[in-house]
C-alpha cells in the first residue's frame, strides 16, 4: 500500500479508536501525514473532536495557537524530508539506469517461451488458463505477453 494514499487502514482505525480527551500517539509526523495540507486536515479533525496529538513524546494541542504553529512547522519539515528522499531516489535510479545497472524485473518467460506462448494462443489450441498452467505463470503474465506481441505486430 502506498504511503501517499490517504486511504490507509491504520490511518482510518487510529482516529476512530480515540475519544474526546484522549491523546493520539504517533512516533513521527511522517507516519501520520505525507503533506502539510494532509497534516492540517488530520490535525483539525482531531482538534474538532477534542483529541490531542503526541508526536515523538511531545503533546501538541492543535486548538492552541502555539501548538498549531509548531504542528505546521513539523508538517512542513516532514513534507520537505519526504520530497528530498523522493528526489534522491529518482536521481540514484537515473544514474543507475545510465550506467546500465537498473534494468527492471527480469521477465518470467524467455523470449523463446513468449513466442511459443503467443503461437499456441493464436492457433487456438489453448485458452489463457491452460497457457498459464502450461508455462507455470499467472494469467496476468499470459495476458501481458499476448498484449506485448499484439502491440509489436
Report the 10 Å Cβ neighbour count for 117: 23
| Mean pLDDT over the full length of the chain | 85
pLDDT tens across 59-83, in order? 877 777 888 888 888 889 888 988 9
In the predicted model, is pLDDT for residue 58 greater than 90? no
Give me the pLDDT at residue 8, please: 67
Q: What is the reported pTM? A: 0.55
Instruction: Of 120, 111, 123, give the one whose Cα is nearest residue 148.
Output: 111
Distance between CA atoms of 60 and 74, rounded to whole angstroms? 11
In the predicted model, is pLDDT for residue 125 greater than 90? no
Distance between CA atoms of 135 and 86, rounded to whole angstroms? 38
Q: Going edge to edge, which strands form the sheet with 52-55?
A: 23-26, 52-55, 58-60
Amino acid at each position: 500500500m502506498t504511503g501517499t494514499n490517504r486511504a490507509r487502514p491504520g490511518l482510518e482505525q487510529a482516529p476512530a479508536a480515540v475519544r474526546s480527551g484522549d491523546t493520539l500517539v504517533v512516533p513521527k509526523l511522517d507516519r501520520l501525514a505525507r503533506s502539510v495540507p494532509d497534516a492540517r486536515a488530520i490535525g483539525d479533525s482531531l482538534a474538532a473532536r477534542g483529541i490531542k496529538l503526541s508526536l515523538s513524546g511531545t503533546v501538541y494541542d492543535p486548538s492552541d495557537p502555539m501548538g498549531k504553529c509548531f504542528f505546521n512547522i513539523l508538517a512542513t519539515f516532514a513534507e520537505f524530508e519526504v520530497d528530498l528522499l523522493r528526489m534522491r531516489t529518482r536521481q540514484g535510479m537515473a544514474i543507475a539506469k545510465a550506467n546500465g545497472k537498473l534494468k527492471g524485473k527480469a521477465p518470467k518467460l524467455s523470449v523463446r517461451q513468449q513466442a511459443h506462448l503467443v503461437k499456441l494462443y493464436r492457433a487456438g489450441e489453448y485458452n489463457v488458463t491452460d497457457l498459464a498452467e502450461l508455462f507455470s505463470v499467472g494469467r496476468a503474465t499470459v495476458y501481458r505477453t499476448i498484449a506485448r506481441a499484439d502491440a509489436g505486430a
